[in-house]
């Protein structure tokens, strides 16, 4: 196993999990007390559990966290917060839909991580001790739940965007 390549790969996923967790927790607080808030809370809890599993794996493999990558991820997460809150578009529903889409992609990325670890030749005990089939299987239902919520927002989120575009087009043609 190429340790340097694995270290880079695991650090990439650690950075992604931190960004995903921050996004999920922010979305959870914005939607608290709603059915969407409950779905996002469950996803956030699972992201946190998987991140802890990844951190434990990295520790067992003696993989150091890349502070530059973690810092850049922190900055990207803070910047994305403006878009996902609707601050840059003036449309919170669109921001929520985009946040859910990002979470969906992150969940798929997490599943890909666990799947990739299953095909490493001679993975050693640190990876061999993980219940990779269970970690992969958990991603499916969570992604499906997020996608249901995302797709429920699409008609109104994008219709509002089209209406705004129509208004802008009308204003420009007058």
Tens-place pLDDT, residues 73-85: 666 666 666 556 6
Higher-pLDDT residue of 89 and 33 is 33
- 72 or 51: whose pLDDT is higher? 51
Largest CA distance in the chain: 70
Q: Are 136 and 109 in contact (CB under 8 A)?
A: no
pLDDT value, residue 173: 64
pTM of whole model > 0.75?
yes
Cα 85 from Cα 96, distance rounded (Å): 7
DSSP letters for 7-26: HHHHHHHHHHHHHHHHHHHH
Query: In which residue are the tokens 């992609």 written?
Result: 105
**Rounded Cα–Cα distance for residues 100 and 122 (Å):** 36
Q: What is the mean pLDDT of residues 114-127?
A: 94
**Would you state the pLDDT for residue 95?**
87
Q: Which domains does the chain have, with CATH numbers?
A: 3-173 (1.20.910)
pLDDT (0 to 100) of residue 161 = 47
């Amino acid at each position: 196993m190429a340790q340097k390549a694995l270290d880079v790969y695991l650090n990439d996923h650690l950075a992604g999990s931190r960004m995903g967790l921050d996004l999920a927790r922010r979305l959870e607080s914005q939607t608290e007390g709603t059915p969407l808030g409950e779905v996002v809370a469950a996803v956030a809890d699972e992201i946190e559990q998987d991140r802890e599993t990844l951190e434990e794996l990295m520790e067992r493999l003696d993989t150091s966290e890349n502070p530059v990558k973690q810092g850049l991820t922190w900055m990207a997460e803070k910047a994305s917060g403006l878009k996902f809150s609707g601050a840059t578009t003036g449309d919170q529903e669109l921001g929520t839909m985009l946040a859910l889409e990002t979470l969906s992609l992150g969940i798929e990325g997490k599943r890909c991580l666990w799947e990739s670890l299953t095909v490493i030749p001679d993975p050693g005990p640190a990876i061999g001790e993980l219940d990779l089939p269970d970690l992969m299987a958990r991603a499916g239902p969570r992604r499906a739940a997020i996608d249901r919520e995302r797709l429920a927002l699409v008609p109104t989120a994008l219709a509002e965007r089209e209406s705004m575009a129509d208004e802008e087009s009308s204003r420009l043609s007058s």
